[in-house]
Amino acid sequence: MAAIIVPLLFGFYSVILGADANWDLYNYHVYAPFALMNGKVSIDLAPAGFQGYFNPTLDLFPYLLNRTLPPAMSGFLQGMLHGMTFVLVMGIASVVLPERPIEDRYRLPILLALSGCLTAVFLSEVGNSMGDNTTALFILGSVFIIVSNWSTLRSCNMAAAMLLVTAGLLAGLSMGLKLTNVVPAFSICVALLFCGRGTLTLRLWLSIGFGVAAIIGFAITGAHWMIRLAQEFGNPLFPQFSNVFPHPLVAPVGVADMRWRPQGLLETFFWPFIFSVNPRRVGELPLRQIIWPIVYMTFWIWTLRKLWARYLGAATPTLRPEASFLLLFIATAYLLWMQLFSISRYMVSFEVLLPLALFILLTQLRPYTYARRTAKWLLVAAAAVVLTAGARTWGHEGWGDPLYHAEAPALPDPTRATVLLASAQKPLGWLVSLFHPEIAFVGLATAFPATPVYNEKAREIARGRGGPIFVITDGEDNTRASDMAFYDDLARRTKLTASPKGCGFLRSIVSQLRLRADVVASEADDAACRLDVPQSRKVDVGASERARREQAGQIVAQAGFTLDPESCMVFTAGIGSGSHRYQLCRAMLP
């Protein structure tokens, strides 16, 4: 029953959160599938930066759901899909912990799976398009197949081969969809090689067989896009690894983002404590959690105790091979993640297994009853830290239909028009999907590792098409005013602004709580006062948008274009109930 109820609850949780509106979605999660379906790789030039060239296959699922279903229904289905993580972790726990009292037969796997789903990274991406929760299902499915068929895998027969191939294919599919999953997939290979009681030949067969199947799975979901990029740019991973596959548009670079890794041996050793105290060391979003240092300390206590017992020749509890496999998988994945990425979003597939790992380690250190009680309090504390910190997410808007909308003019001559996206502040890639697919879009001032040839290519595109040239840059959203309008509406609904007495009470609340608001006289007939942004915090929208136009003018000038500031007009676009201001201007070549 829990296997049905919990995924449904995550579906409802996704609906409550609202429409996914994370930064990456505004940048490339909408653009990438739109570009794939409309053949825009050969038309556009990096409107979503280098991320726009990531494999778009993973983004097709949420994109098509959002385009074909009512938005809230799409959000529910995506949340429910992510809730299947609970089912897989529960299944893994049931297999890895077979020797448990009758009262814990069902309860323990359920509680450990719930604890896994209350980890910070997983919760932050429920119903989200970033893909980490989605691809984690493939990795967890692979782990479940292995641990639930451990005895079968020790036999060299067709059944073992089929199970191994299935597990490897699942892990490979996840790699093809999102390359960062090479970390957990390779970690499964390592764990298969070093765990178990079979001969070295058998363990090599398991590891190599899994690896070959994983490569096939990778080819199924990833090869088509790598071939497409190789045909277009001579680099199957364009624009990454341009130091290996040079291209005139791209400066020599390796993996794009290596700034998050620990610095030095001391940070490396204490890394779980460091990124728990300062979560911005492993990502832009401060995801508060304590599960990592708890498990890390417990692991080292267990390791030192094992080494000491071996030194003394004393007996220690024996780990089941399935449990050894799981612990080695998590440890290897953590080490590889730390050295390659150290970005919190990329550890979903093994972070959700940490509560189970903690319980395994505690049962090795203490009697079962004591270990269960200790695990209960530690996991309650870990979940409480995540939940009381707000269970932060990467951004949502209220639901609206259509989900993606714009009040923008239709651009003339789309088969010949070129649009330059020029903003150093907002991601603009998603806007491409709201215009005619034959318009060429060029990204300027993005994170693309461009050479001077890039600007030459932008001018070549515009000249070759021979049509009108436009520039889109960001406008001033003035979120302070929109937020204050929301609070003023709330005060009006509660009748606090209807009378002088209510206005006085409202002033006292603002003063005592030191809120950044002013209570001023209202011009409306049905209100005596209203909430307003303090004069010192008000934004001059006109001045702000002029400054943004000037900045956009400088950006396009560096690329050899001239922006006409007098031609600029403001239009709005948004996701769900959200609305953002953008500016559309004319431009020309000298």
Query: 222-238, pLDDT tens digit by residue?
Result: 999 999 999 999 999 99
Structure tokens at 127: 């119903």
Q: Has residue 547 got a pLDDT over 70?
A: yes
Model pLDDT, residue 585? 97
Write the CA distances from 361 to 184, 333, 526, integer angstroms: 21, 17, 65
162-182 pLDDT, tens per residue?
Answer: 999 999 999 999 999 999 999
Helix (H, G, I), strand (E, B) or coil at 340: helix
First-last CA distance in the chain: 68
Q: Average pLDDT of 191-195?
A: 93
Q: Has residue 449 got a pLDDT over 80?
A: yes
> In this structure, are residues 195 and 328 in contact, taking their beta carbons and an 8 Å threshold?
yes
Q: Average pLDDT of 8-14?
A: 98
Q: Has residue 195 got a pLDDT over 80?
A: yes
Q: Has residue 256 got a pLDDT over 60?
A: no
- CA-wise closest residue to 445 among 338, 552, 362: 552
Q: Average pLDDT of 463-476?
A: 97
> In this structure, are residues 426 and 28 in contact, taking their beta carbons and an 8 Å threshold?
no
Q: Has residue 424 got a pLDDT over 90?
A: no
Instruction: Using the structure block, give the residue that is written with the tokens 């953002």.
Output: 580
Write the CA distances from 382 to 338, 354, 387, integer angstroms: 21, 11, 9
**Which DSSP letter does residue 180 get?**
G
Query: Cβ atoms within 10 A of the Cβ of 373, count?
Result: 12
Q: Has residue 205 got a pLDDT over 60?
A: yes
How far is Cα 535 from Cα 542, in angstroms, rounded to an integer? 16
Q: Average pLDDT of 123-133?
A: 97
Give the pLDDT band of residue 194 (cuts 50, 70, 90): very high
How far is Cα 450 from Cα 461, in angstroms, rounded to an integer? 16
> In this structure, are residues 354 and 119 in contact, taking their beta carbons and an 8 Å threshold?
yes
How far is Cα 161 from Cα 82, in angstroms, rounded to an integer? 29
Residue-averaged pLDDT of the chain: 95
Least confident of 21-25, 120-124, 199-203: 199-203
Q: Has residue 198 got a pLDDT over 90?
A: no
Around 174, how many Cα atoms within 13 Å sit in the side-chain half-sphere? 29
Least confident of 82-96, 199-213, 544-558: 199-213
User: Which backbone phi and psi does 215 adopt, to 5 degrees?
Assistant: -65, -40
Q: Which helix (H) or strand (E) holds 572?
A: strand 562-575
Give the pLDDT band of residue 197 (cuts 50, 70, 90): low
Instruction: Using the structure block, give the residue that is written with the tokens 């060299």.
Output: 156
Report if pTM > 0.85.
yes
Query: Cβ atoms within 10 A of the Cβ of 525, count?
Result: 5
Structure tokens at 284: 């832009």
Q: Average pLDDT of 327-343?
A: 97
Write the CA distances from 529 to 16, 87, 403, 480, 520, integer angstroms: 32, 53, 35, 18, 5
User: Max alpha carbon distance in the chain (Å)?
Assistant: 88
Model pLDDT, residue 159? 87
Least confident of 97-101, 263-267, 374-378: 97-101
Q: Average pLDDT of 483-491?
A: 91
Tell me the helix, strand and coil percentages in the chain, rounded to 5.
60, 10, 30
Q: Crossing angle for the helix pair 2-17 and 107-117, nearest 10 degrees? A: 20
Integer Rg of the chain from CA: 27
AA identity, residue 438: E
Q: Average pLDDT of 207-213?
A: 96
